[in-house]
Chain A
Amino acid sequence: MENQKTLFDKIWDAHIVKEVPGERHVLYIDRHFIHEVTSPQAFAGLVERGLPLYRKEKIIATADHNIPTKNQHLPITEPLSRKQVDTLTQNCLNFDIPLYGMGHDKQGIVHVIGPEQGITKPGMTIVCGDSHTSTHGAFGSIAFGIGTSQVEQVMASQSLILDKPKTMRITVDGQLGDGVTAKDVILYIISKLTTSGGTGYFVEYAGEAIRSLSMEARMTICNMSIEMGARGGMIAPDDITYTYINGREHAPSEEVWDEAIAYWSTLYSDEGAQFDKEYQYQAEEIPPMITFGTNPGMGIPINAKVPELKDDKALNYMGLKSGEYLVGKKVQHVFIGSCTNARIEDLREVANFVKGKHRAADIKVMIVPGSKAVESQARAEGLDKVFVSAGFELRSPGCSACLGMNEDKIPSGEYCVSTSNRNFEGRQGQGARTLLASPLTAAATAIYGKIVDVRKYLN
């Protein structure tokens, strides 16, 4: 069949400025998100070279990684963190960039606020100095993480020189069982592909189970594409996407809405399009998942035993033994937050489960909304009261304990069931032991003080 293209190809080809000898392309970047950790050296580089910021209207900034999640109205106490956040503020002032910083009513984690404000839209190329930029692919865009040098390149030219990745399609058909969520789906997929199985590929997720997901659930899936090494992940837009975008602050205006939909409706992989690799999974076979080791690929069904590994390093670090069950294991902390799972639907799911219940005595539970807008919505729905009654500590938005760059660290040797995206050694603090799971599993763990199969406790 002639000219059958994948969704990825359609968007990539529409953004080529120039082909560079040696197989690279100069790709135009529609939206550039920045935050305080990966931008300072880029701004400094621009100033050193005497280059102007090429397209200030295409940059959006937030402070999320290095900020406290308590007392955000006070100056940051840690001097290096304060300096880094102040540097972003100053750079945004100097270069006239909108900053959703601390104190702004729309501040939040970069990959939460982009979609929430309607900035992320189908058909775009989107970058950020952060590997979870893949989140925005849920809207049918090519979104990926870049290094600080590339941040500087986009600031200088609104373009990047890139090699084109290969394409992969991961199809999940069927229907998810009760208690099984998007987070379990992506943990399942990564456990099958490993942390390098997607390297060199850009993934498209398809199939009945994917189509049936809400936008927030789709974002959870795309968010963790990087954890299998993929450059990014995307889902073709549809009515669910358009409904989500409609009416948001930066959504296309009413006058052009129909035109926008007409264009977005062309964004799908053609029937005969060829992918370099394909995988198929059946939703009914996916159970609630949990990780046991020190990379996101080390995930198992909640009821399974810790497997044998070819070397002891990961299990020694985690204080676990092959052959043991994770169900029933006491943990000291639960963290509900991060760009993977801190949107309003995640908070509603947790609130629904814990309503009328209280956390177990020996467990500390922290819940960090992904943005001020999510926090306001949660308060408006009374979810904050549910969390407080359950003995959860409700914080202010930020990346928080996902990477423990601020004070929200897990102490050495202690276990944390976390709705975040990485369980590397020391990720949540030196010696911290992270077990990745869905918000539902995390909520159930919080109540029972130990790892449980949430399906046993659903109505």
Chain B
Amino acid sequence: MEPINTLTSTAIPLPIEDVDTDQIIPARFLKAVTKQGFGDNLFRDWRFDTNDQPISDFVLNNPTYKGEVLVAGKNFGCGSSREHAAWALGGYGFRVLISSFFADIFKGNVLNNGILPIVVSDQELNQIFLMIESDPSTQFVLNLELQTLQVNDLIVRFDIDQYKKQCLLKGQDDIDYLVSLKSEIEAFESKQVLY
């Protein structure tokens, strides 16, 4: 997993609420047995019509907007637990997601894949959408160590679980830590009574 700390990028706006993971990556693309290639099918049915032609008014098909940051309406990533949604976003090139609310399982999935979800207030989110609209080349400046996101004059101090922050900064996942707890896990098992 690639570590993440500082990043400066423009952002792509998706001012739609309740975007579910079936939209992020439709079920017919879940047949793969590896983690590769999902970026190609990110938001597939919003990007392409049934003849595989790009849908012109979808933001990812608009060359005005580019970047490693996606700004989305609240409750982003609701619905199915498919981690393939995180692989699609990461595969496409996003490293940071900004919203006022992320669905629970989705949030965990992106964190486990080196993508940083930043929660901002509804007001801050509105401000951010307005800034991108008035100037698509607006720079987003992230500092994970300091837990700050700067967009023009707006400085957001965001919360993040401290354990997950360390994982992102070091590019580490949970498995190494869990496997190191073998004796504690065995101790738990030897005392457990379960029917």
Interface, chain A (partner B; CB < 8 A): 17-18, 20-24, 26, 28, 30, 37-38, 40-41, 44-45, 49, 51, 65-66, 78, 80-81, 83-84, 87, 121, 123-124, 129-131, 145-150, 152-153, 156-161, 163, 165, 195-196, 199-200, 226-227, 229, 231, 252, 256, 259-260, 263-264, 295, 313, 403-405, 412, 422, 424-427, 430-431
Contacts and interface: CB of A to CB of B under 8 A. Distances in A.
19 contacts: A20-B163, A26-B181, A28-B189, A44-B34, A45-B175, A83-B33, A131-B81, A145-B81, A148-B83, A158-B185, A161-B177, A199-B75, A229-B75, A231-B105, A256-B195, A264-B195, A424-B79, A425-B23, A427-B27
Contact of A30 (B32, B112, B194): B194
A264 B175 CA distance: 32
Given A51-B179, A195-B18, A150 B112 contact: yes
Contacts of A130: 81
B161 interface: yes
Given A26-B178, A121-B195, A161-B174, A426 B26 contact: yes
A430 B45 contact: yes
A319 to B, nearest CB: 16
Contact of B50 (A200, A412, A424, A427): A412
Contacts of B178: 26, 153, 156-157, 159-161
A84 B31 contact: yes
B45 A229 contact: no
A17 B185 contact: yes
Interface string B71-84: 00011001111111
A163 B75 contact: no
A159 B105 CA distance: 16
Given A147-B83, A161-B178, A404 B27 contact: yes
B64 interface: no
B50 A21 contact: no
A104 to B, nearest CB: 21
Contacts of B74: 196
Contacts of A148: 83-84
Interface residues of B, number: 53
Given A157-B185, A231-B104, A263 B193 contact: yes
Contacts of B112: 147, 149-150
A17 B192 contact: no
A295 B184 CA distance: 42
Interface string B1-29: 00000000000000010101011001110
B170 interface: no
A403 B29 CA distance: 12
Contacts of B34: 40-41, 44
A430 B177 CA distance: 42
B109 interface: yes
Nearest 4 pairs of A and B residues by beta carbon: A147-B83, A22-B162, A260-B195, A40-B33
B163 A123 contact: no
Given A147-B108, A425-B23, 13 more contacts: A20-B163, A38-B83, A81-B31, A149-B173, A157-B175, A159-B178, A196-B103, A229-B103, A295-B78, A403-B80, A405-B30, A422-B22, A424-B79
B116 interface: no
Contacts of A425: 22-23, 45
Contacts of A405: 27-28, 30-31
A83 B33 CA distance: 8
Contacts of B163: 20-22, 24, 161
Contacts of B184: 17-18, 26
A38 B82 contact: yes
